[in-house]
Amino acid sequence: MNRPLAEADVIRCAEQTPAVLEARGLSYAHAGIGTLFEGVSLAVRRREIVALLGSSGCGKSTLLRVLAGLEQPATGSVSFLGEPLASPHPRSALVFQQPSLLPWLKLADNVGFGLDFAHQPRAGREALQGRIAAAIEAVGLKGREAAYPAQLSGGMAQRAALARALAREPELLFADEPFSALDAITRAEMQDLLVDVVHRWHSAVLLVTHDIDEAILVADRILLMGGRPGHLAQEWTVDIPRPREDHPEAVTALRLSILGALRHASL
Ligand SMILES: Nc1ncnc2c1ncn2[C@@H]1O[C@H](COP(=O)(O)OP(=O)(O)OP(=O)(O)O)[C@@H](O)[C@H]1O
Ligand SMILES: [Mg+2]
């Protein structure tokens, strides 16, 4: 089930089903830090949930920003739906640890914020309103459309951030530790919600996390990043049926395998 990553794997994976995102030979360097990661090649297929795990500081967030088109790599290339990516793609969306809602806008306006910007695909006003309403309902915030961010709990604010991403009908959702500021119960609810809504929206997800359990519960595939400079060291296909809580033995075996890899000297 798990094995070292090779360039051939990435190519084969991209050939099986069309990839939403494909990266080849990425490296990132900065004057202050030297080479942060190198030789990173990966593909995310349509509707696939991929978790990127790694120890703190190994470069996960920087890699996600490069993959999302927010930063340029030193070497290598990123393509989104088969086209070279130079800036964030309108069919991608981002969710971070902080919900980053605009405090002066009501929830519905926060969810719809930016949908009518020029780089977004054109859609009529009614269609946009429908997308906003559907996203708010999907995350369980129907009835709270007129609330301001200050009136929402941390969990509700993160639901709103997820709705804002869904309203873009993304082919790929980039999520960087989206639930790490939440309490354990809210976090578990949000993990279930994420899987549910991205399946319903037919979106793929690239989820950065350093929580092994979160990766196992949510992902179809787990990539492990580590080392100095960082590289992708190992991958696991997670074929445990959902809900995964019902298969504790398989979950424990996978957790031990990932923990062992994390502790491996070469990481
Ligand atoms: N443009 C930059 N300039 C200076 N330092 C940078 C830059 N980009 C990244 N770094 C540094 O690179 C290191 C790795 O950053 P990054 O945030 O990508 O790691 P991470 O794996 O996401 O860590 P964490 O798990 O703590 O979120 C950090 O020490 C960060 O300060
Ligand atoms: Mg990070």
Residue 265's pLDDT is 43
- The amino acid sitting at 262 is L
Dihedral, CA atoms, 196, 22, 227, 235, nearest 10 degrees?
A: 50
Q: How far is the CA of 58 from the centre of ligand 2 (A)?
A: 8
Distance of alpha carbon 206 from alpha carbon 158, whole angstroms: 17
Q: What is the domain class of 1-89+171-178+204-267 according to CATH?
A: alpha beta
CA 56 to ligand 2 centroid distance, Å: 7
Pocket flag, ligand 1, residue 91 (CB < 6 Å): no
User: Ligand 2 centroid to 142 CA: how many Å?
Assistant: 31
Per-residue model confidence (pLDDT) at position 220? 97
Rounded CA gap, 146 and 159, in Å?
15
Write the residue with the smallest CA distance to atom 24 of ligand 1. Answer: 56
Residue 13, phi-psi category: left (phi > 0), alpha (psi -120 to 50), beta (remainder)? alpha
DSSP letter for 258, please: H
pLDDT for 3 equals: 55
Question: Residues lining ligand 2 (ion), CB within 5 A?
Answer: 61
3 lines ligand 1 (CB under 6 A): no
Which has the closest alpha carbon to 28: 64, 80, 55? 64
Residue identified by tokens 């190994």 is 58
**Which ligand has the minimum distance to the alpha carbon of residue 58?**
1
Output Rg (C-alpha) for the chain, integer angstroms. Answer: 18
Per-residue pLDDT 10s for the chain (267 aa) are: 555 565 555 545 445 567 999 999 999 998 888 999 999 999 999 999 999 999 888 899 999 999 999 999 999 999 999 999 999 999 999 999 999 999 999 999 999 998 876 666 677 788 899 999 999 999 999 999 999 999 999 999 999 999 999 999 999 999 999 999 899 999 999 999 999 999 999 999 999 998 999 999 999 999 999 988 999 999 999 999 999 999 999 999 999 999 999 887 455
pLDDT for position 14: 46
Longest dimension (CA), the chain: 56
For residue 8, the model assigns a pLDDT of 56
User: For the chain, what's the residue count?
Assistant: 267
Pocket test for ligand 1, best of 60, 72, 98 (most atoms within 8 A of CB): 60
Q: What is residue 118's predicted lDDT score, i.e. its pLDDT?
A: 60
pLDDT for position 2: 58
Q: What is the pLDDT of residue 169?
A: 92
